[in-house]
């Protein structure tokens, strides 16, 4: 996928999450070649977890799938500018 397509996918995730009762945020982790590794949506209210932002959810899913905490070389796409917590993550 192109960078534009990846960004559109993050926005699409946020819209789908609104329809499912979640917050209006979506994120994904992709390789530099545009292959999606993992996605995440905002589940703060649904899970009663203040850290369950879309970006953190996507990072957790990617790390679990790849079996490593080091996501260097991967890119994150988000539907909104990340908060300070997500930016640090």
Q: Residues with catalytic annotation?
A: 55
Q: Can you give the three-state secondary structure of 25-46, one letter per residue? A: CEEEEEECCCCEEEEEECCHHH
| Exposure of 43 in the CB half-sphere (CA atoms within 13 A) | 11
CA 89/CA 44 separation, integer angstroms: 16
């Amino acid at each position: 996928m192109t960078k534009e397509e990846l960004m559109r996918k993050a926005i699409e995730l946020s819209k789908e999450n609104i329809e499912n009762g979640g917050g209006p945020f979506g994120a994904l982790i992709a390789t530099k070649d545009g292959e999606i590794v993992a996605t995440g949506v905002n589940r703060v209210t649904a899970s009663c977890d203040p850290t369950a932002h879309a970006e953190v959810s996507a990072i957790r899913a990617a790390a679990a799938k790849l079996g490593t905490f080091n996501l260097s070389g991967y890119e994150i796409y988000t539907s909104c500018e990340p908060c300070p917590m997500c930016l640090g993550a």
